[in-house]
A and B are shown apart, each in its own frame.
Chain A
Amino acid sequence: MKTYQGNPATQWLCALTTAAAICWSGQAGAVENIEKEELKFGFIKLTDMAPLAIAYEKGFFEDEGLYVQLEAQANWKVLLDRVINGELDGAHMLAGQPLGATIGFGTKADVITAFSMDLNGNGITVSNGIWRQMKAHVSMADGKPVHPIKASALKPVVDKYKAEGKPFNMGMVFPVSTHNYELRYWLAAGGIQPGYYAPPQDISGQINADALLSVTPPPQMPATLEAGTIYGYCVGEPWNQQAVFKGIGVPVVTDYEIWKDNPEKVFGVSKAWADKYPNTHLAVVKSLIRAAMWLDADNNKNRPEAVKILSDSAYVGADYEVIANSMTGTFEYEKGDKRPLPDFNVFFRYNATYPYYSDAIWYLTQMRRWGQINEYKPDSWYRNIAKKVYRPDIYMAAAKELIAEGKAKAADFPADDESGFKPPQSEFIDGIVYDGSKPNEYLAKFAIGLKGKQRVVDGKVVE
């Protein structure tokens, strides 16, 4: 009797199958049943879109079975509209955008976020001419300005413009942008009134303003400053360092100095999308967490590689040196005045990617402070909106899967009993303490800005 041994091809196939099965087991735990594998995400040309570029280039998306296309968008408005109407599956967003859309300031739509993209990363730049006038009021040590520079140094300049009847124009990137609130925070802390909104009639945000703030898309900031349309702006990187390289402006303060480790961009998707594709959403968040970990791994040792990827014309596209300035832990203020700032861009450490309710509430307090929310809201309202928009539950589900797969450690993430509220934070440029659980109490501490039952009616603040 002849024993069946099988032909060599079959044996080879068996061996291959076994090998493949072993290889596959390494991937076990990847999100099953992805509802939508082909995705398109939008971004704005800024260094803090890095987690998206890294997740793509390092294959983290593909590891989760996602085939993602990344597409640069013209401005924040176009980006938000495209996420809402479904042309984009998700996008790199300003933290205020999902919140603003949910409460209906500007566009009304349900947009949520389960992933915060970074901490810090912005700066305020003024033109060379304004800097010369400001410098007289800045305290110096060893021939160099003492940082942080407060807006009180800018106040005499603004007052002079006001006395001469000339408008003092500054740029920010979007009405609900971090940049708008940071610039306003800095100005107000230095005694300069940045103006109120009074929706729905007046959404220019220039009521009673000493400094007139208007919208310019981030990559156009340097060109607009150079053209003299604005005297200063608040924007993300690399557009502050670009001004230094071009010799057209001087960054005077970074957002790290305005509010240490402030939350910046988020990854936003429409609520309808998230409800329809929950597994896909989870897989996206997993890839992004891995990208953020990669960006901050081993004391930023991957940053030079990240800068190289970002300088590709399809991503940020600015020159390597310009992007490297801030991404590798330094920041150049006045030309030649390069200082170490290791936390200028934080992508993962200090739980940077976790969507804290208290972060959402800070944005809502600023919307209230400047009249974008033009009526009193109880503390519970702030909490409810934050819970509607920020989704730590999805984030933690993704984190748990990564831990189970051995791709992350439990210690890298907040504890299970985490409340979503950071302890009160005091490291603001004006020293005011922020406690996310008491938004109205927080608002009452500001000298400039709406508080209590105040409203803006016909260009006046009334009780």
Chain B
Amino acid sequence: MNNKLIKFFTITGLTWFVPVVRICNGDNPRQQIKALWMAMGVPVVAFIGFLMLWNAVAQQIQTSLGALPGPVAVWEEVDSLIEDHYAEREKEAAFYERQHKRNEKKLARNPNATVKIRSYTGKPTYLDQIVTSLYTVFSGFLLAIFVAVPLGILCGMNRVFNIALNPLIQVFKPVSPLAWLPIVTLIVSAVYVTNDDSWFEKSFLTSAITVTLCSLWPTLINTAVGVSSVEQDLVNVGRVLRLNYSTQIKKIILPSALPYIFTGMRLSLGVGWMVLIAAEMLAQNPGLGKFVWDEFQNGSSHSLSKIMVAVFTIGIIGFILDRIMHSLENIFSFGKAI
């Protein structure tokens, strides 16, 4: 049981908890406490040190919006953002109630009237913006995977294809999201016609496609490398057994290349998250990026603290995303490090 727990923590990257499990196990307490100190104590002390330094520096810096907010002010802002969320939810409930009443009246007047409930028109709260950003980044990321993995496999398996695609990869890989954005915006506006029951908003599509364009490269390159470095013996075995193309990919190439693919995906998701915030800021598309920009424009005495809350949120979410991908990577690399 405990060994399984330790394995779980190791794979998920939560190695902090491994010594705790071992202590509960009665496993050489002194050594484990030392390990615990290294795993949890030092980072916590360092973080407290950072907060103190921040607090001290913050008081020295006067911006035109007042003093730079310290940790306490930022923490208070978290509270107010959450409160704001619940206040908005109350307004939402009232909004629906008004609609229901209106519809009832309409039905009472004319029982055959068609009534409809429209979705809430109020502002998205901070928590809503987080959800929007996550939804957008995953959509863009999945789209990137769907493009990058098959292309990567093709590149890895076919030398001519690889040579053909290489210049494009080299040229497009370093392009900044800020350069893709206007192109994507214009193309989406021209090609995608929205009406009342469209599936997606244009703004969602532009953000997601920009994320895709910037985040597909690491996966593409890693997949190609992974596929081309499959051991020749395995490939030969496949040939001897006369496996057809798709079985070869399924049984031989993918399993060997998976660790590379997952490393590529982890990098892709990291890039995608960074790109998304920039894209949202620039294009004013819903999400955390828009929140930051709006607050910058508001210039109220709370704006700076709110922006800092967003910075921490973006960082923490990015960290969690990376941990999740890291665990997947561990699971699929079968213990082999790349």
Whether the Cβ atoms of A220 and B297 lie closer than 8 Å is yes
A70 to B294, CA, bound (A): 14
Interface size class of A (residues with CB under 8 A): 35 or more
A201 at the interface (CB under 8 A from B): no
Contact call B294/A313, Cβ cutoff below 8 A: yes
Beta-carbon nearest neighbor of B196 in chain A: A38
Interchain CA distance A217-B299 in the complex, whole Å: 14
The reply to whether B118 and A319 contact each other, CB–CB distance below 8 Å, is: no
Structural contact, A87 and B202, CB atoms closer than 8 A? yes
The smallest beta-carbon distance between A201 and chain B, in angstroms, is 23
Which residue from chain A places its CB closest to the CB of B91 in the assembled complex? A57
Within 8 A of B (CB), among A312-330: 312-314, 316-319, 322
- Among A14-22, A406-414, A420-428, the stretch that binds chain B is A14-22
Instruction: Identify the stretch in B103-111, B216-224, B321-329 within 8 Å (CB) of chain A at 4 or more residues.
Output: B103-111
- A67: B residues at CB distance < 8 A: 118, 121
Contact B299 A38 (CB under 8 A): no
Q: Are A318 and B108 in contact (CB under 8 A)?
A: no
| B300: interface (CB < 8 Å) | yes
**Nearest A residue to B203, CB-CB:** A87
0/1 string, A77-89, CB within 8 A of B gives 1: 0100000011100
A317-B284 contact given A37-B118, A226-B64, CB 8 Å threshold: no
In the assembled complex, the CB of A75 is this many whole angstroms from the nearest CB of chain B, namely 9
Given A311-B300, A319-B301, residue A23 in contact with residue B294 (CB < 8 A): no
Residues of A within 8 A of B116 (CB): 37
Within 8 A of B (CB), among A213-231: 217, 219-220, 222-223, 226
Beta-carbon contact of A23 and B105 below 8 Å: yes
Nearest residue, chain B, Cβ from A19: B108
Taking CB atoms, residues of chain B closer than 8 Å to A17 are 108
The residues in A between 44 and 74 inclusive whose CB is less than 8 angstroms from any CB of B are 45, 56, 59, 62, 67-70, 72-74
Does A260 reach chain B (CB closer than 8 Å)?
no
A317/B64 contact (C-beta < 8 A), A23-B105, A85-B189 known: no
For residues 83 through 131 of chain B, which have their beta carbon under 8 Å from a beta carbon of chain A? 98, 102, 104-106, 108-109, 116, 118, 121, 123
A247 to B299 alpha-carbon distance, docked (Å) = 14
Q: Contact at B109–A20, with CB atoms within 8 Å?
A: yes
B268 interface residue (CB < 8 Å to A):
no
Least CB distance, A173 to chain B, in whole angstroms: 13
Task: Mark out the residues of chain A between 176 and 212 whose CB falls within 8 Å of any chain B CB in the assembled complex.
Answer: none
Q: Mark B281-322, 1 if CB is under 8 A from A, else 0.
A: 011100000000111111111110010000000000000000
A301 to B102: give the CA distance in the assembly, Å.
30
Contacts known (A20-B104, A87-B202, A87-B203); A314 close to B123, Cβ less than 8 A: yes
B247 CB–A CB distance under 8 Å: no
Q: Is A246 an interface residue (CB 8 A)?
A: yes
Task: For A220, list chain B residues within 8 Å (CB).
Answer: 297
A86 CB, min distance to chain B CBs, angstroms: 7
Is B194 on the interface with A (CB-CB < 8 A)?
yes
Q: Measured between alpha carbons, how far is A311 from B283 in the docked complex, in Å?
A: 23
B293–A318 CB distance below 8 A: no
What residues of chain B lie closer than 8 Å to A247, measured between beta carbons? 64
B64 touching A222 by the CB < 8 A rule? yes
Q: How far is the CB of B210 from chain A (nearest CB, A)?
A: 16
State whether A72 touches B294 (Cβ < 8 A).
yes
- Whether the pair A219, B297 counts as a contact (CB closer than 8 A) is yes
Residues on B with C-beta less than 8 A from A20 are 104-105, 108-109
B301 neighbours in A (Cβ, 8 Å): 319
Note all chain B residues with C-beta closer than 8 A to A223.
64, 299
Distance (whole angstroms) from the CB of A35 to the closest CB of chain B: 10
Tell me how far the C-beta of B196 lies from the nearest C-beta in chain A, rounded to whole angstroms: 7
Q: Is the CB of B297 within 8 A of A21?
A: no
Docked Cα-Cα span, A59 to B283, in Å, equals: 30
Q: Which of B65, B189, B293, B295 contacts A74 (CB 8 A)?
A: B293
A97 at the interface (CB under 8 A from B): no
> Is there an interface contact between A317 and B303, defined as CB atoms closer than 8 Å?
yes
**B295–A317 touching, CB < 8 Å:** yes
In this complex, what residue of B is CB-closest to A17?
B108
Which residues of the other chain, B, contact A248 by a CB distance below 8 angstroms?
64
Q: Say if the beta carbon of A254 comes within 8 Å of chain B.
A: no
Cβ–Cβ contact B196 & A36, under 8 A: yes
Say whether B299 contacts A318, CB under 8 Å: yes
CB of A128 within 8 Å of the partner chain = no
B118: which A residues are within 8 A, CB to CB?
37-38, 67
Asked if B300 contacts A313 (CB within 8 A), the reply is yes
Bound: A226/B65 CA distance, A: 12
User: Which residues of A, 339-397, contact B by the 8 Å Cβ criterion?
Assistant: none
Residues from chain A with a CB closer than 8 A to the CB of B102 are 62
CB distance from A309 to the nearest CB of B (A): 12
Flag whether A242 is at the interface (Cβ < 8 A): yes
Cβ proximity bits B155-168 to A, threshold 8 Å, 1 near / 0 not: 00000000000000
Report the nearest A residue to B116, measured CB to CB: A37
Q: How far is the CA of A17 from the CA of B110 in the complex (A)?
A: 10
Q: Is the CB of B298 within 8 A of A316?
A: yes
Chain A residues within 8 Å of B306, by CB: 313
Distance between Cα atoms of A87 and B301 in the complex (Å): 32
Cα A440 to Cα B189 in complex, Å, equals: 40
Q: Does A24 contact B (CB under 8 A)?
A: yes
B300 close to A319 (CB less than 8 A): yes
Return the chain B residue nearest A245 by Cβ.
B64
Interface residues of A (CB under 8 A from B): 16-17, 20-21, 23-24, 36-38, 45, 56, 59, 62, 67-70, 72-74, 78, 85-87, 217, 219-220, 222-223, 226, 242, 246-248, 311-314, 316-319, 322
Interface of B toward A, CB cutoff 8 Å = 64-65, 98, 102, 104-106, 108-109, 116, 118, 121, 123, 189, 194, 196, 202-203, 282-284, 293-303, 306
A sample of 12 inter-chain contacts (CB < 8 A) reads A20-B105, A24-B106, A67-B121, A70-B123, A74-B293, A87-B202, A217-B297, A219-B297, A226-B64, A246-B64, A317-B295, A317-B297
Beyond contacts A37-B116, A62-B98, A242-B299: 14 other A-B pairs, Cβ-Cβ < 8 A, are A21-B109, A23-B105, A24-B105, A62-B102, A72-B294, A74-B283, A85-B189, A87-B202, A248-B64, A313-B300, A314-B123, A317-B297, A318-B299, A319-B300
